[in-house]
Structure 1
């Protein structure tokens, strides 16, 4: 066995969401293209066998990165996949309804790739026929998805936001949906008719009016947004909403906050993880009247 030398490879921590590491929607695949995996793993093993100097690890300011020996051919076989989404791969039968945590944001545009000097990274896109569009829609199969996590999508460009909203509009049967930390500001044009559980923590909502239409909602989490007032919360009055989380929103500091929320939502059982208390049941107006009488 050949001993490792400390001067061949250095390690740095690689940001999993950086463009060079962008693997499209591979993170959510429940099955994989075994043929492609075997092919590219064999390619990598062949390349590693031909190296005269094996890689080694070294530490650099607490950051780890794998840098290749100059003798290695570049780019690596997997480099051609870094801007592809799962549905663009051939010879697999994975559907959208089988995914739990996919990355659905698209890769950079041709102009962005040009400025990065990576125009060679994406093959020339051929003209897509109507049949191919229909086949892709069937493969995505978002209409039959019942549980989906689209958190941490890093929607940095407008075309990525448009693709994200396109998928949300197709989730007509989703029942549990997580959209955490996506810098969302307005989903009022989206309707989720069967959604029972929605988590939109750590976004940029400022009003209940900006939330999607969710007539069957039972559990709603809005922690760490920027909702200033309780205006619009009565829109959920006729829904089966049982649990609501508004922690770390400015409206949480409003006077008689809990009483106002429970009076607006008669079906609500839990607010910010705390069950409904007896003092939460009295209408704010009557409590103010009693306080005034006590002063007199």
Structure 2
């Protein structure tokens, strides 16, 4: 691998002297063509594009990497704490690829020795990662979710973490002791109890989940939480929503992008009911 001409792959990894395309449009921009390229679907190679030189179909430069995590790409010395947007999910199993007639797109898997497993684990180096974006991982299989949670358990020093649009439902078994900023927008959380343990959290974004009530929000009462986003959750339509949130979180300064207002500090409404009689 030549070091003088490095570029970044679709997993956020510097891999070589050729830029792997993330999409057909990005390939067009790299090739310098403005006209539309005809796309062809193959049973064995997936999506392929037509070559401008010969008119014959040719695979994407990244085609052989599309089912690989970043640690499976050979001949690089990148470590986990140097990545911002790594692909951590694995590709489909060999059986599923055979069913899809895409078995040729999967790199032949070799027997991995214990030494190679240890070297791969050291290469990941998630323990020293301070800022990480694991959004849009497309965790379609249980083993992919299991591997994803394995990595989350190793993030003992992460301070900023993005987990947007991963179809997550429960991370209550995960602890992020140093996390100050967490973005879990567009997931499937239904309760604050399903969130990871984040004792040092300052900025938490939960927009576009399915949190129906504010039950459990008081668990963050003793954290330094300053800003909270709950937009497009059912609990947003609860009566006296803002007053209830601020009364539960005394350190909170901003809710849904709006600073704390005087009316947000008003005490709960007290209703008096009088017995009335009718004099005839």
| Other-structure match for 1:127 | 111
CA separation of 1:281 and 1:118: change in aligned 2, threshold 3 A = same
Whole-Å separation in 1 of the counterparts to 2:220 and 2:251 = 10
Q: Whose strand proportion is higher, 1 or 2?
A: 2
Q: Which residue of 2 aligns with 1:144?
A: 128
2:72 aligns with 88
RMSD over aligned Cα atoms: 2.9
Per the alignment, residue 165 of structure 1 pairs with 149
Alpha-carbon displacement from aligned partner over 1:196-217 (angstroms, at most 9, x marks no partner) = 0000111111000000010000
The one of 251, 267, 280 aligned to 1:283:
267
- What pairs with 1:23-34 in structure 2 (closer than 5 Å)? 26-29=10-13, 31-34=14-17
Please give the alpha-carbon distance, in whole angstroms, between the structure 1 residues aligned to 2:206 and 2:181: 12
Q: 1:146 to 1:76 in 2, by over 3 A?
A: closer
Which runs of 5 or more residues in structure 2 are unaligned?
Answer: 1-8, 21-32, 39-46
Q: Deviations over 1:160-217 (max 9, x none)?
A: 2112111111111100001111111111111111000000111111000000010000
Q: Shift in Å at residue 75 of structure 1?
A: 5.3
Q: 1:109 aligns with which of 73, 93, 106?
A: 93
Query: How far is the alpha carbon of 1:91 from its aligned partner?
Result: 2.0
Equivalent position SS for 1:220: strand
Match of 1:254 among 233, 238, 248: 238
Distance 1:89 1:169 in 2: 23
CA distance in 1, matches of 2:72, 2:251: 45
Deviation at 1:233, TM superposition (A): 0.3
CA contact (8 A) 1:150 1:178 kept: yes
Q: Of the two structures, which has the highest relative contact order with CA contacts closer than 8 Å and spacing of 6 or more?
A: 1
Match of residue 200 from structure 2? 216
Matched, 1:67 2:50: yes
1:103 shift after superposition: 1.8
Residue equivalent to 1:229: 213
Residues 262, 268 of structure 1: 8 Å contact kept: yes
The CA distance in 2 between the partners of 1:59 and 1:125, in whole Å, is 33
Deviation of 1:56 after TM superposition, in Å, equals: 9.8
Change (3 A) 1:174 1:218: same
Task: From 174, 181, 185, give the equivalent of 1:190.
Answer: 174
The 2-side partners of 1:245 and 1:222 are apart by 6
- Unaligned ranges ≥5, structure 1: 1-24, 41-54
Contact 2:204 2:228 survives alignment (8 Å): yes
Quick check: 1:242–1:268 contact (8 Å CA) kept in 2?
Answer: yes
* Residues 123-168 of structure 1, C-alpha deviations (whole Å, 9 max, x = no match): 4322211211111011111111100111111112212211211111
Question: Compared with structure 1, are the counterparts of its residues 91 and 65 closer, same or farther at alpha carbon in structure 2 (3 Å cutoff)?
Answer: closer
TM-score (norm. length: structure 2): 0.79
Task: Please tell me whether the aligned partners of residues 37 and 50 of structure 2 are also in contact (alpha carbons under 8 angstroms).
Answer: no
Secondary structure, in 3 states, of the residue corresponding to 1:183?
coil
Moved beyond 4 Å, runs of 4+: 55-60, 68-78
Alignment coverage as a number of residue pairs: 247
Per the TM alignment, residue 117 of structure 1 is displaced from its structure 2 partner at its CA by 1.4
Residue of structure 2 aligned with 1:264, choices 248, 252, 256? 248
Match of 1:203 in 2: 187
